[in-house]
């Protein structure tokens, strides 16, 4: 595998959605699709990783909607980005994964409100196109980074191709703390 295919591009920056300690020794980046059943399974695993590793883990989420397979994924990603403009990204992210079976337009607007977003500002953001541009930038980043499916994880900038089941994933991350 060439270097370009295994390194995160661009690196984590100020525009990313980040949860956790900025100075954490481990940065986990996920490229995900809100309608992907594997991403929903990974969502539960990542939540547990966050609980287990606490301040040692910084989580970053980037959109990679596979619209050709998941017809609601792109709209869900754009909705998350529209809510992000109001500082409520992680609340929306969680609601989307927890309600993955219902990602229609009415449901997305309902989740935005549940996440604490103003409905008028949410609609205006979607109309304005910035969320769509953000999702497109994330998709381009996924392609440059060599992500070829969802979920795809990067640990400290390097693609992680190991198991993302809880025990082996946690063991791998903990081994980085021992170095």
DSSP assignments along 6-63, one per residue: TB-SSPS-TTSEEEE-TT-SEEEEEEE-TT-HHHHHHHHHHHHHHHHHGGGEEEEEEE
- Say if 155 falls within a structural domain: yes
Q: Is 134 left (phi over 0), alpha (psi -120 to 50) or beta?
A: alpha
- Say if 5 falls within a structural domain: no
How is residue 1 written in tokens?
């595998």
Q: Are strands 57-63 and 26-32 parallel, antiparallel or unpaired?
A: parallel
- Helix, strand and coil content of the chain, in percent to the nearest 5, comes to 55, 15, 35
- Say if 3 falls within a structural domain: no
Q: What is the mean pLDDT of residues 9-23?
A: 96
- Say if 179 falls within a structural domain: no
Percent of the chain with pLDDT over 70: 97
- Say if 12 falls within a structural domain: no
- pTM over the 0.85 mark: yes
| 100-149 tens-digit pLDDT | 999 999 999 999 999 999 999 999 999 999 999 999 999 999 999 999 99
- Say if 64 falls within a structural domain: yes
What's the whole-number average pLDDT of the chain? Answer: 95
Largest Cα separation within the chain, whole Å, is 49
**CATH of residue 48:** 3.40.30.10
Q: Tell me the C-alpha distance between 102 and 107, whole Å.
A: 6
Domain span including residue 98: 17-170
- Say if 177 falls within a structural domain: no
Going by pLDDT thresholds of 50, 70 and 90, the confidence category of residue 4 is very low
Going by pLDDT thresholds of 50, 70 and 90, the confidence category of residue 5 is low
Going by pLDDT thresholds of 50, 70 and 90, the confidence category of residue 178 is confident
- Say if 40 falls within a structural domain: yes
Q: Please check whether residue 176 is in contact with residue 52, taking contact to mean a CB–CB distance below 8 angstroms.
A: no
Q: Which helix (H) or strand (E) holds 159?
A: strand 158-160
Number of domains in the chain: 1
């Amino acid at each position: 595998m060439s270097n370009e295919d295994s390194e995160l591009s661009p690196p984590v920056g100020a525009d990313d959605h980040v949860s956790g300690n900025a100075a954490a020794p481990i940065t986990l980046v996920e490229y995900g699709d809100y309608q992907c059943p594997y991403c929903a399974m990974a969502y539960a695993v990542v939540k547990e990783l966050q609980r287990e590793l606490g301040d040692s883990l910084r989580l970053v989420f980037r959109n990679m909607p596979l619209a050709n397979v998941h017809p609601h994924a792109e709209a869900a990603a754009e909705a998350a980005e529209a809510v992000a403009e109001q500082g409520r990204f992680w609340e929306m992210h969680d609601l989307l994964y927890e309600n993955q079976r219902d990602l229609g337009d009415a449901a997305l607007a309902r989740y935005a409100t549940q996440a604490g977003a103003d409905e008028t500002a949410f609609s205006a953001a979607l109309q304005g196109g910035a969320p769509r541009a953000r999702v497109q930038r994330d998709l381009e980043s996924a392609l440059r980074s060599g992500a070829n499916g969802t979920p795809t994880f990067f640990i400290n900038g390097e693609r992680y191709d190991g198991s993302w089941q809880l025990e082996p994933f946690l063991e791998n991350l903990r081994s980085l703390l021992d170095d």
